[in-house]
Structure formats: structure tokens, C-alpha cells
């Protein structure tokens, strides 16, 4: 009896182990490292890209950023150009996030089809707008994104359709007093991962400046709504020391080129000349 009991216990243990393994194998594959860090509560930083030059894009993507803020709202970049940039540097550590020109279904779906792993929605000042943006970022049954041509499969694998919803990061930008007024509803919208306090346009639309009580009251409203909804809070890199901010936009590539040149000139080598092509 004792032996049969041991055998039975062993069989139960094996069955439980198999069940756990099956559950783990059915879990979605998360390859978006920026999203993984956000889920762990870590800070992530993205450099801004406005140039269509793939070499500049790759230099930014391999410089230590967690993601790249590909700027399509305030640049002449086209979807074809951005697709080439992402493809040229596929596999780079920095994940491609795209600030779309507008929150239309066409803009969002094209950004996803070319390989965007983060969708940044500008000027959110209505709940309907951010709900629609989430819908067209997500495949059914969670959303209305349709299947179409794109390089996403070649970039991220044949199982992309099954795991895309779990890998995308959706960022809602609050840039005006109208958005601040509904910050609670924006932050609590299912599918929103990050609420971004747009420092410059909050001032532009309100007439207040950073540090003034009315300006800081808007930031506090966004902060409280976002933290209360258990979403991540975003802002400019200069706000890195502000409480609870974990998602940051850094300067564009032109600023880093200037800073890099200044640093390189100060540290210019003397004596033996470096070998061309071996800069890395």
C-alpha cells in the first residue's frame, strides 16, 4: 500500500508539472523589452528620431536607448521611409515607437504594419479618440485592427498575429487643458499603458509656464489620474527626477550629434591616428 501510494503521489506530481509547463508554453511571447521594463516599474528612455537616414536611425537604436520616439507628427517622415529605417536596423536594442500624425485608423494601422511596437497618440482631448486609437491598434477580439500587408512578420516572427496585442505599448499624450480635464477617463481607458504629460504644449495651450502654480496643478492632475489608474507616467527626460515618472522622451538626433561632436573634439586623440571604420 505504501509503495502504491508513493507511485500515485509521483504520478500526481508529474501531472501537475506537465500542467504548469503547458500553461507556461501557452503564455504569449513578449519580445518588446521596453514593455517588459515598464511592467517591472523601471524607467525607460527614448531618443527622438526625425531624420529618414537609416544610418542615423541605427546609430540612435544602438546607443543605449530603450526605445526610439519616431516623430511623424512634426516631421516630413513618410511611412515608407520609416518602414525602411526599422527594417535597416531590425534586431536593434531600442524598440521602434511611432508618434503617429493623427489618431485615425489608417495612421495607426500603417504604423503597426511597418513594425511599430509603441503607438504614441498626440493631442488626446476626448475619451472617444483614445478608445478608437486602442481599438485600431489591437487585433480582434480586443480591437478592430485588420490584417494586411506589412513587414511585421519578417521582423517579429510567424506568430506575430497571436502576440502583437501583448507586445504593443499605447501612449496617450495629454497636451491641453481639455485633456487634463478628462485625465481620469484617459488613464482608465483599457489598453492604455502610458499617459504622457506633454510639457511644451501644456504651456502653449494654457499660457502657463513650468513652475507656475497653475501649470504644476495640471501636471499634478495628470499624475494623480495616471497613478490612480495604475498606468505608467511619461514626460520629457528633464522630468526624470519627478515622482512616479517612468517613461521619458529625450532630445532629437541633431542634439545628440552636436553633443557628440563637442565631446569628441574635447577628447580628440593625439599621436597614433585611429583606424578608419573601427570607431565602434
Whichever domain contains 35, its CATH number is 3.20.20.60
45: in domain: yes
Total tally of structural domains belonging to the chain: 1
Q: What is the pTM of this model?
A: 0.87
* Pairwise CA distance, residues 94 & 64, whole Å: 7
* Pairwise CA distance, residues 96 & 90, whole Å: 9
276: in domain: no
Burial (CB < 10 A; 0-12, 13-18, 19+), residue 12, is exposed
Task: Indicate which residue of 15, 16, 74, 159 is catalytic.
Answer: 74
Q: Which residues pair with 252 in a beta bridge?
A: 48
88: in domain: yes
Nearest to 249 by CA among 120, 69, 104, 117: 69
Please, what is the average pLDDT of the chain?
92
Do you find a cis peptide bond into 141, omega within 30 degrees of 0? yes
219: in domain: yes
Fill in the DSSP letter of residue 139.
Answer: P
117: in domain: yes
Give the residue numbers spanning the domain of 109.
Answer: 30-265
Nearest to 190 by CA among 172, 176, 177: 172
Task: State how far Cα 219 lies from the chain centre.
Answer: 21
Q: What is the pLDDT of residue 277?
A: 74
**Total length of the chain:** 280
Task: State how far Cα 278 lies from the chain centre.
Answer: 32
78: in domain: yes
Q: What is the pLDDT of residue 12?
A: 55
- Determine whether 223 is an active site residue: no
Q: What is the pLDDT of residue 81?
A: 98
* Pairwise CA distance, residues 48 & 254, whole Å: 9
List, in order, residues 6 or more apart from 133 with CB less than 8 Å away: 103, 108, 119, 121, 124, 170, 172
In this prediction, the residues of the chain whose per-residue pLDDT falls under 50 are 1, 18-24
13: in domain: no
71: in domain: yes
Q: Which residues pair with 120 in a beta bridge?
A: 99, 171
Amino acid at each position: 500500500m505504501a509503495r502504491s501510494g508513493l507511485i500515485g503521489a509521483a504520478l500526481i506530481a508529474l501531472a501537475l508539472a506537465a500542467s504548469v509547463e503547458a500553461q507556461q508554453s501557452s503564455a504569449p511571447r513578449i519580445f518588446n523589452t521596453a514593455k517588459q521594463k515598464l511592467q517591472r516599474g523601471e524607467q525607460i528612455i527614448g531618443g527622438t528620431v526625425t531624420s529618414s537616414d537609416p544610418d542615423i536611425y541605427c546609430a540612435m537604436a544602438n546607443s543605449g536607448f530603450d526605445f526610439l520616439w519616431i516623430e511623424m507628427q512634426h516631421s516630413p517622415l513618410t511611412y515608407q521611409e520609416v518602414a525602411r529605417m526599422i527594417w535597416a536596423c531590425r534586431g536593434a536594442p531600442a524598440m521602434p515607437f511611432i508618434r503617429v500624425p493623427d489618431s485615425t485608423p489608417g495612421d495607426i494601422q500603417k504604423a503597426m504594419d511597418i513594425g511599430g511596437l509603441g503607438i504614441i497618440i498626440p493631442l488626446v482631448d476626448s475619451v472617444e479618440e483614445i478608445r478608437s486609437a486602442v481599438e485600431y491598434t489591437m487585433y480582434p477580439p480586443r480591437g478592430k485592427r485588420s490584417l494586411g500587408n506589412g513587414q511585421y512578420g519578417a521582423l517579429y516572427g510567424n506568430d506575430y498575429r497571436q502576440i502583437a496585442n501583448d507586445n504593443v505599448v499605447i501612449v496617450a499624450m495629454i497636451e491641453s487643458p481639455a485633456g487634463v480635464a478628462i485625465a481620469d477617463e484617459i488613464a482608465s481607458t483599457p489598453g492604455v499603458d502610458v499617459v504622457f504629460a506633454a510639457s511644451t504644449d501644456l504651456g502653449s495651450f494654457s499660457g502657463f509656464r513650468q513652475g507656475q502654480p497653475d501649470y504644476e496643478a495640471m501636471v499634478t492632475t495628470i499624475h494623480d489620474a495616471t497613478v490612480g489608474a495604475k498606468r505608467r507616467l511619461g514626460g520629457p527626460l528633464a522630468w526624470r527626477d519627478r515622482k512616479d515618472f517612468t517613461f521619458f522622451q529625450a532630445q532629437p538626433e541633431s542634439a545628440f550629434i552636436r553633443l557628440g561632436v563637442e565631446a569628441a573634439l574635447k577628447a580628440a586623440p593625439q599621436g597614433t591616428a585611429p583606424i578608419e571604420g573601427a570607431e565602434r
